A and B are shown apart, each in its own frame.
Chain A
Amino acid sequence: MSLGPLKADKITVTYGKRIVLDSFSHTFEPGKIHCILGPNGCGKTTLVKSLVARYAASGDISYVPQNVYGNVALSVYDTVALGRYDKSRFFTGLTPDDRALVDKAISDMELEALSDRIFDTLSGGEKQRCMTARALAQDTSWTVLDEPSSSLDIRHNQLTMRKLVDLRDNEGKSFIIVLHDINTAVRFADSFILMKGGKLVCVKDSLDTEVLSDVFESPFEMITATEGASFFCPL
């Protein structure tokens, strides 16, 4: 079953008296890379977690958590292969199809050389790539990534984002991605969801200095490169 658009209708999440997410409504259209931007503690992670929880039963959404866990104690290959876990099967061995998907995810994230290493011995960026590969191995039409590139080097950041673009163009996959790097977002995302204080500020197809300055409460300058691409520079 393929999920259509993801609908968030007035999602409110409170922790005790604190309102973390205040009646958030938006429809995430399929076939796009949606990028969620906003300052720390504005409810981005809460939003994506509740979206995943809402649509998890369909089995067509995968999730890359922000936190990289300790004590996983599995090899990289086995960690990625968890994406192929199917609880309806008693024997949890991989079918040839599963194996192909796991191998593909591993090579997409350039993890071949690490596939026998134990997850806990990896560096932060390697762990993030492994978690992204795990979600890709799930082969779902929606993938939600919570800051998948916060510890990545420039090359692997580009590699991860290009892979998402490639999957969108060639396999019609959809992504929701939480990012802090505005220029990565501008370069790769189709739609920008800006949040502040648990509320949706606006949804834009392209960013401008005014809205960024408002959301992040910090002035921005736009620089247009000779090729026509725009970059945002915090002042």
Chain B
Amino acid sequence: MHRQRDLFRLKLILAVIATLFAVAASCCLGSSNVTLGEVIKYFSGMKDELSPTVVTIIGRVRVPRVFTAALCGGALASVGCVMQGLFRNPMADPSVLGISSGSALGAAIAIVSGLNIVIIGEGFTGSYIGAIIGAAVTWMMVFLIARSSGEYDTSSTLLAGIAISSIMSAFITVLMTLHMDSMERVYMWMLGTFSSSTVAKMQVLAVVVGICVPLLIWISPRIDVLKLGKEAALSLGVNQSRTLGITLCLASVLLAFCVANSGIIGFVGLIIPHIVAFFRVYKARQKLLMCFFVGAFFMVICDSVAKTIVAPGEMAIGAITSLIGAPYFLWLLAISRIRAGRKGEKL
């Protein structure tokens, strides 16, 4: 049977190379000059040939920031990919279940009440704990409501999430109005930035991503099976409630750590899965892998722009992701519609 060749491996290799290149290039950008050669020497273990200042700059400033951006981008895109698949809804994204707002509220409470100064472990501040508690509370609320009929139902889960999300956002607004003094800090943090990345924070995030993303990759083929409907999935040994529960739990953990680390960065989780789909990667596992790398690549690029465009100042990363991502997405959308129109296919 004649079928189009599956070029997935090639696409994945290209995405990985692009990500590595973006990471290396972004390590060169910043207030002091570091060359690409020095970065390559740093990563290939030839640190002795570099001056101590350069080693410190790369190791303490550039690497944490760039890797945190890459990990966050990859995690957010993976979560978006999983959510869109699970809910069979192209508009689902990480913020839709209210978990981003919930963890933002938790972190905002920590910042306002001064708990963020409390350091539990290196890189593990009070705002982290606040964000994780916030995410957990939101997650439980969404699921208690969605499960009240005894079965998960995707549309009521989505609706419950949207409603809870707006409650959480409202609480943040109330909190900011009542505490005008810390408003700027909360607001800047909510807009999202990677400028306060440290080695310890990066390590915490790397561990979380290193556990959750492989588990998501393991479970992802079930997302495709669930698209056949509850009973047909059951006949293939896939239990809908269990799969939804496990997957959303993993996604929430990832999301909580991303928000705690760098605030709410919108749009990445929504747009990256669609961009990946334009490159004809559809199967859940392949799509998730691609999303992780494309998301990482995209976030590193956006962060590079954010730290250079108004140097020595910082632009909020959320603005950059939308300003770069949205036009590119619209362009892809227009192109694909024109192509489909020529072929006489409907989209």
Contacts and interface: CB of A to CB of B under 8 A. Distances in A.
Q: Do A and B come from one complex?
A: yes
Nearest to A61: B235
A87 B238 contact: yes
A74 B285 CA distance: 12
Interface string B222-237: 1011011101101111
B224 A74 contact: yes
B234 A85 contact: no
A82 B225 contact: yes
Given A92-B285, A138-B236, A53 B4 contact: no
Contact of A78 (B222, B231, B283, B345): B283
Contact of A64 (B4, B225, B232): B232
B234 A70 contact: no
A72 B285 CA distance: 14
B3 A62 contact: no
A106 B88 CA distance: 24
30 contacts: A49-B231, A52-B232, A52-B234, A52-B235, A56-B231, A59-B235, A61-B235, A62-B232, A63-B229, A63-B231, A65-B228, A71-B227, A72-B88, A74-B227, A74-B283, A78-B283, A82-B228, A83-B236, A85-B221, A85-B236, A85-B238, A87-B236, A90-B218, A92-B285, A107-B1, A115-B1, A121-B345, A121-B346, A121-B347, A140-B235
A103 B221 contact: no
B113 interface: no
B1 A63 contact: no
B289 to A, nearest CB: 13
Contact of B3 (A53, A77, A92, A121): A77
Interface in A36-63: 49, 52-53, 56, 59, 61-63
Contacts of A70: 88
Interface of B: 1, 3-4, 85, 88-90, 218, 221-222, 224-225, 227-229, 231-232, 234-238, 277, 282-283, 285, 345-347
A56 B4 contact: no
A140 B347 CA distance: 34
Contact of A135 (B3, B90, B232): B232
Given A74-B283, A78-B282, A85-B221, A116 B3 contact: yes
Nearest to B4: A116
Contacts of B89: 71
Nearest to B217: A90
B90 A63 contact: no
A61 B238 CA distance: 13
Nearest to B88: A71
A69 B227 contact: yes
Given A71-B89, A78-B283, A121-B345, A87 B232 contact: no
Nearest to B228: A82
B344 to A, nearest CB: 11
B1 A65 contact: no
Given A69-B88, A71-B89, A82 B231 contact: no
Contacts of A83: 236
Nearest to A112: B1
A145 to B, nearest CB: 11
A83 to B, nearest CB: 8
